[in-house]
Amino acid sequence: MLVVMQHDASAADVEDVCRTIVEMGYEARPLPGAQRTAVGLVGNDGRVDASRIEGMAGVAQVIHVTQPYKQVSREWRPENTLVEIAPGVVFGGRDVPVIAGPCSVESEEQILDAAHAVKAAGATALRGGAFKPRSSPYSFQGMGRRGLELLDLARRKTGLAIITEALDVEGASLVAEYADCIQIGARNMQNYSLLRAVGRLRKPVMIKRGPSATITELLLSAEYVLAEGNDQVILCERGLRSFDPLTRNLFDLTAIPVVHRLSHLPIVADPSHGTGLRDKVAPMASAAVAAGADGLMIEVHPRPDRALSDGAQSLYPAQFDELMKQLHAVALAVGRQITPVGAGNVAVSIG
């Protein structure tokens, strides 16, 4: 950490800062410059609360040199973490698994139709919400436990891995009983009680980036999970809050190479929420793979015009099928491959 003093800071101000740093248990190293003095804090273990110093007399600015996270950083672990949510469905390696399915589980028929359709097109995991976080208390809130049972049924029928969202500590345990991967939604990215809970559950976790979260904050949220002993974490870019009403969100694909540089954790992209518009999903899914995404999450509904939520951004099964063909080509062009169906998925029953 570097404390930059104001142009006109007095010697006493500099001394006060140095004394406070020493009081906090670190070493202070003053660095007089041409125009102003700076004071280096040496020995930062990531726990320094800069705010205490920021407000001191004569201080112009406090600059963080050390990253605030540890276990998620590539400096901590140089090689990629591989997260295998089901046999053969691995995030973080050369393969790129595609997760697809409806926004919400709506009925047995709907989720089975969706599962069969996305499986046929080449997806290896099924998404579908049983517990839905909705801006309005009057919107459809999901089928709850019955939704989880239907996802389990769909898994038994198709062999697809299951990923679904948990909204709170209690729900996380329940979701963990049924799902192969627990999703933490964007609205809960900084729900630390929930992050700690899934950190203790020893199940793969997918954390979606909040709509105005920096990448540093996303990595810190993952750090909560790793700090509890669970390193099976997948990050997910799903679009940021935008000022332009033409799209639902502002899809930040650059987050993919940025995360790859800073962290060993895999990152997937969700072009359905990232754009909010069906006809933008295909080009942006291709773009995500070209940018290096370690997986994709795509909303597909057997009847989007009847969907209880997110109909506008859900693909028709035929569109998804078409898209998968293109994704295979794009993945090869950048030295990856879309995870093939059945690679390690041996436990498929005959539906």
Tell me which residues in 160-219 interact with a second copy (CB under 8 A).
167-171, 187-188, 190-194, 211-212, 214-217
Closer Cβ to a second copy, 29 or 146, answer by number: 29
Closer Cβ to a second copy, 1 or 161, answer by number: 1
How far is it, in rounded angstroms, from Cα 323 to Cα 121?
9
Residues numbered 93 to 122 that lie near a second copy (CB under 8 A) are none
Residues numbered 245 to 274 that lie near a second copy (CB under 8 A) are 245-247, 250-254, 256-258, 261-262, 274
Among positions 11, 22, 318, 329, the unique one binding a second copy when judged by CB under 8 A:
329
Among positions 278, 294, 302, 336, the unique one binding a second copy when judged by CB under 8 A:
278
How far is it, in rounded angstroms, from Cα 22 to Cα 137?
51
Residues numbered 289 to 318 that lie near a second copy (CB under 8 A) are 289-292, 304-314
The answer to whether 85 and 125 have CB atoms below 8 angstroms apart is yes
CA 269 to chain centre: 8
Q: Does 283 bind a second copy (CB under 8 A)?
A: yes
What is the per-residue DSSP string for 40-102? EEE---S---THHHHTSTTEEEEE--S-S--TTBTTT--SPPPEEEETTEEESSSEE-EEEE-
Among positive and negative, which fits the CA dihedral 119, 147, 186, 205?
A: negative
In the stretch 56-95, what mask flags binding to a second copy with x, by CB under 8 A?
x----x-x-xx-xxx----x--------------------
Q: Distances in Å between the alpha carbon of 111 and those of 126, 155, 202?
A: 9, 10, 27
Q: Does 337 bind a second copy (CB under 8 A)?
A: no
Residues numbered 124 to 153 that lie near a second copy (CB under 8 A) are 133-140
